[in-house]
Amino acid sequence: MFPPSLGVFENIRSYKNRQDGVFMRSTENIMLKGGVFADNQNQMNFEISQNIIVDGAKMIGRTGRFKEIVEAQDGALAHDEDLVGIQLHVRTADLLEMGSTIKNVEFQSFHQDYATRTKLFDVDSEGTRTWDGIFSFWSLMENIVVDDLSVTNPFDLRRTSASNHAGVYLVDYDSSLKPLGTSARTSSTIIADVDDVKAFCDLNGLCHRNSAQGYWYCRNTCLRTVIFAVDPTNAEGVVLEIVDTTDSSSRSFSYTGAFATEFLDNGSRDDVANADWNKYVSFAAALPAAGSYRARFKRGTETVWPTFVETVWGPALCEEGVAPDSVRLVQPDVPTSTCDELIRNGNMEDGTISPWLHAIGGGLSIEAREGRGKSMALADLDQSFAGSGMGQYVDTRCLTVGSVYLVRVWVRMEHSSGLDVLCRVADCGPKLKVRTVSDRNGLAGIGRPLEADKVPLATQLDGPLQSDWNLLSARVTVDEEWSNAMSVFIFVERGLTGKRLFIDDFT
């Protein structure tokens, strides 16, 4: 568990460490106040942590005495090594939390001649197994003092640029690290040298490129990230096109979606883990405040709707950041046929799992000759938890207030021996439920499990659980909660522990 309140550590001294002076991993709500950090390879290193505050620290890359000792011993620490002030990483544990706030910090003796690769702030890409490829370590610098910027690299974003993580940037709140000889009135942003984050910045007028270190410094520019999370079963070939409608040049960019694919130890895809109802395809756009934007999803030239769209805004790191109402998401008209039948592949006869997902653990498989009339059936054979289940997202465009739907699904349960489960009590066995998400920014961040707002549609079968197939049904009138929801997931909950669950003819 992360501590609920801020833990303050004052006046720490850490020096002459071979690697990190301070290392934090999977940590939250920590303040390092004051202190001196010197002669470490990384004075500080924050990894998968959030709400870390550094206030009033002094960092010395190489003290004179340390250099004398190392050089006298013909050591290697003074040369051909990274020399880093603060190493940041690309993600927090929770998308909605700040990564770090670094203020009133003084840097001394990080000159380029002390080591081959020196920098005050380094962003590590953490390789390819990062939370769905999207940057979320939101970081802000304020009142940073450097003894000599002419011989010091303030930033290094080369690794993130090479790995092509989406939307990597840092905010210089008071522009205290602006390039020498330039001026800035407001906050500025350091952006990775990658197309997606450069797309809407004024590269010619406000931005200064440091190609050697993989970044641009954009004066008087404040970025904020918006993330659109969509149905992973309906996102193949889909891009997010954003157009700046206030710019006479009509700047635009097409963003590709990111998905945190899970793999087994043998290197093959983990189909069970990848079919979890809390996994999404996510599209991230870092946008400056100066624009007014139109966003739409496209497959080829056609505007499409990927079943649902959950919108999440990253923290506003400066007052002049883009407002949520500056981005308009286009929702295309829905074909009548789409709303006549909300459930896709309800009889499993195409032989594929998609668009079905498992809820709260479990595993999905298509079982031949296990369905009604020896047809195909969708099965969860592996999970013993009573609250797990199988379901799918429905097209939110169809959920208008007052619409009436009859939801029907046939279910069968087996013991591990293959014998059917019988139950004399009417409410024993599978249940039909729905999960609605109305405000992601008020709930868990994308990438964390979300178990909120599970509402029963039918708490019992139409009769006691019998051998063979049993009907589970509910008549539903769409209310404002459903109509206003960003996503709606309908599923069959197992209801019993340690039993196999089969479903067929879900309509």
Q: Can you give the CATH number for the domain in which 416 is found?
A: 2.60.120.260
User: How far is residue 284's CA from residue 164's CA, in Å, rounded to a whole number?
Assistant: 13
Residue 124 inside a domain? The answer is yes
pLDDT at 451: 41
The count of structural domains within the chain is 3
pLDDT at 450: 41
| Segment among 94-98, 130-134, 236-240, 287-291 with least mean pLDDT | 130-134
Same-domain pairing of 256 and 371: no
Query: Please, which pLDDT band fits residue 321 given cuts at 50, 70 and 90?
Result: confident
- Stretch 387-412: mean pLDDT, rounded? 91
Q: Which of 222, 247, 281 is the last residue of a domain?
A: 222
Contacts of 215 (CB under 8 A, 6+ apart): 155, 156, 157, 161, 190, 191, 192, 193, 209
Other beta carbons less than 10 A from residue 43's beta carbon: 31
- Stretch 359-384: mean pLDDT, rounded? 81
Residue 2 inside a domain? The answer is no
Dihedral over Cα of 126, 127, 131, 132: its sign: positive
Contacts of 266 (CB under 8 A, 6+ apart): none
- Tell me the residue range of the domain where 249 lies: 226-329
Query: Please, which pLDDT band fits residue 155 given cuts at 50, 70 and 90?
Result: very high
Average pLDDT, the chain: 83
pLDDT at 86: 94
The more confident residue out of 429 and 84 is 84
Q: Which of 172, 192, 222 is the last residue of a domain?
A: 222
Residue pair 80/73 in contact (Cβ under 8 Å)? The answer is no
Residue 439 tokens, joined: 């405000």
230 burial level (CB within 10 Å; 0-12, 13-18, 19+): buried
Is residue 130 scored above 70 in pLDDT? Answer: no
Residue 200 tokens, joined: 């809407």
- Stretch 354-372: mean pLDDT, rounded? 83
Residue pair 258/133 in contact (Cβ under 8 Å)? The answer is yes
Same-domain pairing of 497 and 350: yes
**β-bridge mates for residue 7, sequence order:** 30
Cα 78 to the chain's mean position, in Å? Answer: 38
pLDDT at 113: 62
Is residue 93 scored above 80 in pLDDT? Answer: no
pLDDT tens for each residue of 186-205? 999 999 998 999 999 999 99
Is residue 67 scored above 90 in pLDDT? Answer: no
Same-domain pairing of 353 and 286: no
Whether the model clears a pTM of 0.75, i.e. scores above it, the answer is yes
Q: Which of 222, 245, 278 is the last residue of a domain?
A: 222
Same-domain pairing of 275 and 400: no
Residue pair 168/190 in contact (Cβ under 8 Å)? The answer is no
Residue 154 inside a domain? The answer is yes
- Stretch 490-503: mean pLDDT, rounded? 84
Same-domain pairing of 361 and 325: no
- Stretch 416-429: mean pLDDT, rounded? 68
Same-domain pairing of 372 and 318: no
Is residue 129 scored above 60 in pLDDT? Answer: no
Same-domain pairing of 171 and 276: no
